[in-house]
């Protein structure tokens, strides 16, 4: 309840200051000072001026390979990516690998700690909005010279005990503290979005490494089958050589072909070992622990029947790298406001209350009470152009950050366009490779049987053998590529890490700061 003091009562009776009128004037002064808050307005960037990702529409339904393998796939425009997108590939081993990577990757832990650091920095900055209170206690014993009193008395020896509570408050008249807090909040958003981006990167890297490992295993299996086929052909040629049906040159040629294929095997095995080591590091494990990794098989995987494709208007709200660039834009905008606010007066209110006495027994008496109240304002008058230059530097930095934001958005759209085109081309290539593999297999089997019957010479057999070997590897590469490009599409669309319906970050802005 408000209680009018005796001094206010006297003033009221004299007609000098009505309490309600004084409150009205105080409120008006507060509103006026608050209205002085400076800093550029923050305006949301315009949405991308495109309705699609590619110049020409991508085929909505991607066909399955003629000879089996990955099935058909439909692009569902307007659908959003689920956060656990990798489960659509239908591999428990892949699910386990990504779960372990998200739980134990050191890079993710570093991003988490960076976010926590930014959150504590924000709390530290927001403390300026509250009064700053501190307690001071001191005790001293002093001996002064008699010369201070003209030499007529002897030296003075006394004790002094002081206890005070200090209070200071910084009124945010021109919005400097608010802008500093906005900058700190934007840094929290940057760290949060970078953590999500790091998580998405780990998901993609782990999935790609696992798929590459599955592809290498399949290539090794295919190479070992080719070696077995070539050994069988070599035994056939040797048998015919013993009967004088073929020359030693044909035997040597087949031996050379077999040795070349066998030489490819260590290279593939080395590549597989390196990918296993890489995958182990993604999981936060040492290469020596790579033997415990679950194994993926291409034959056990399947493509999701539908692949979601977010609308261009929502992509900028789904990609964590775009949102991080947007948060950096807000931070740069606040820094422009800070530079402008530093050109205005800086106000501070201070006060202290306590006791000061020469003896402890009289320390808490009314005669020893001390207090003071003060207000100070500092207005920069001449800084040699420093503040003006700092403002222009902040505006230039904002424009640079805005250009980086636009570049990030362009890169995001390019990623999606590349992934969509890749999937379209992959489906066509895999279908062709499937048909080529089937034809090469049939040709090799026919050539081997006809060679044994003496109906085809060795050159025809050798050509069909090489074609079959190449077709095997080409088909495996095409199949692996289709899976990895499907992963690339999920990553390009943001991986479902951010709920685009609910939104994630505050509205961003265009280069409004540079015009203030």
20-38 pLDDT, tens digit per residue, is 343 443 434 343 444 456 7
Those residues with Cβ within 8 angstroms of residue 262's Cβ, 6 or more apart along the chain or in another chain: 227
Alpha-carbon distance 324 to 314, whole Å?
A: 15
Alpha-carbon distance 38 to 338, whole Å?
A: 8
Alpha-carbon distance 420 to 377, whole Å?
A: 61
In the predicted model, what is the mean pLDDT of the chain?
A: 85
Residue 315 has a CB neighbour count (10 Å cut-off) of: 23
For the stretch 222-265, pLDDT in tens is: 999 999 989 998 998 999 899 888 889 999 999 999 999 999 99
3-state SS assignment for residue 309: strand
Domain boundaries, the chain: 42-128+194-343+384-515
* Per-residue tokens: 128: 């300026």
Residue with tokens 């981006």: 197
Q: Quickly list H helices, 243-319.
A: 248-282, 312-315
Those residues with Cβ within 8 angstroms of residue 196's Cβ, 6 or more apart along the chain or in another chain: 320, 323, 497, 498
Residue 411 has a CB neighbour count (10 Å cut-off) of: 14
- What DSSP letter does each residue of 342-392 carry, written as one string? TTS-EEEEEEEEEEEESSGGGTTSGGGEEEEEEEEEE-----TTHHHHHHH
Q: Is the dihedral of CA 444, 445, 450, 452 positive or negative?
A: positive
Those residues with Cβ within 8 angstroms of residue 355's Cβ, 6 or more apart along the chain or in another chain: 162, 163, 164, 363, 364, 365, 368, 369, 370
pLDDT score, position 84: 93
Mean predicted confidence (pLDDT) in 194-221: 95
Closest C-alpha to 451, from 235, 248, 237, 243: 237
For the stretch 152-167, pLDDT in tens is: 566 678 889 999 999 9
> Model's pTM, two decimal places?
0.82
CB contact burial 110-120 (16+ within 10 A = b; e otherwise): ebeebbeebbe
Which CATH number is correct for 42-128+194-343+384-515, 1.10.10.10, 1.20.210.10, 3.40.50.10890, 1.20.1600.10? 1.20.1600.10
pLDDT score, position 15: 39
Lowest mean pLDDT among 37-51, 333-347, 423-437, 440-454: 37-51
């Amino acid at each position: 309840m408000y209680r009018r003091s005796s001094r206010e009562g006297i003033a009221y009776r004299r007609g000098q200051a009505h309490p309600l009128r004084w409150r009205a004037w105080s409120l008006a002064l507060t509103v006026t000072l608050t209205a002085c808050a400076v800093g550029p307005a923050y305006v949301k960037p315009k949405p991308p001026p495109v309705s699609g990702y590619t110049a020409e529409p991508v085929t909505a339904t991607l066909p399955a390979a003629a000879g089996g393998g990955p099935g058909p796939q439909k692009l569902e425009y307007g659908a959003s990516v689920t956060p656990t997108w990798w489960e659509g590939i239908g591999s428990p081993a892949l699910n386990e690998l990504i779960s372990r990577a998200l739980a134990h990757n050191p890079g993710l832990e570093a991003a988490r700690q960076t976010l926590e650091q930014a959150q504590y920095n924000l709390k530290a900055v927001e403390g300026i909005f509250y009064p700053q209170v501190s307690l001071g206690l001191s005790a001293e014993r002093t001996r002064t010279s008699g010369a201070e009193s003209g030499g007529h008395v002897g030296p003075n020896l006394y004790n002094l005990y002081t206890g005070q509570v200090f209070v200071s408050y910084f009124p945010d008249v021109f919005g400097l503290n608010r802008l500093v807090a906005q900058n700190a909040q934007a840094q929290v958003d940057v760290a949060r979005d970078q953590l999500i981006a790091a998580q998405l990167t780990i998901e993609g890297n782990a999935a790609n490494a696992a798929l590459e490992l599955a592809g290498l295993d399949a290539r090794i299996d295919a190479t070992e089958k080719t070696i077995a086929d070539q050994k069988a052909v070599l035994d056939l040629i040797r048998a015919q050589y013993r009967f004088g049906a073929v020359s030693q040159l044909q035997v040597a040629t087949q031996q050379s072909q077999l040795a070349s294929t066998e030489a490819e095997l260590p290279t593939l095995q080395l590549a597989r070992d390196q990918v296993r080591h890489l995958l182990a590091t993604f999981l936060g494990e040492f290469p020596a622990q790579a033997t415990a990794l679950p194994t993926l098989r291409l034959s056990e995987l399947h493509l999701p029947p539908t692949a979601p494709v977010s609308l261009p208007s929502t992509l900028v709200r789904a990609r964590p790298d775009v949102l991080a660039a947007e948060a950096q834009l807000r931070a740069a905008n606040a820094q422009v406001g800070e530079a402008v606010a530093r050109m205005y007066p800086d106000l501070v209110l201070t006060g202290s209350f306590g006791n000061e006495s020469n003896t402890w027994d009289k320390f808490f008496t009314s005669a020893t009470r001390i207090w003071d109240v003060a207000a100070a304002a500092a207005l920069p008058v001449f800084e040699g152009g420093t503040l003006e230059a700092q403002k222009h530097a902040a505006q230039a930095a904002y424009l640079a950050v805005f250009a980086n934001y636009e570049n990030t958005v362009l890169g995001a759209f390019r990623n999606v366009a590349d992934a969509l085109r890749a999937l379209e081309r992959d489906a066509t290539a895999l279908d062709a490779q499937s048909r080529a593999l089937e034809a090469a297999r049939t040709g090799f089997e026919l050539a081997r049987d006809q060679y044994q019957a003496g109906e085809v010479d060795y050159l025809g057999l050798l050509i069909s053998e090489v074609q079959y070997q190449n077709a095997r590897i080409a088909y495996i590469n095409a199949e692996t590529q289709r899976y990895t490009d499907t992963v690339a599409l999920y990553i390009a669309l943001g991986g479902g890490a951010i709920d685009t319906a609910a939104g994630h970050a505050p509205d961003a802005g265009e280069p409004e700061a540079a015009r203030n």
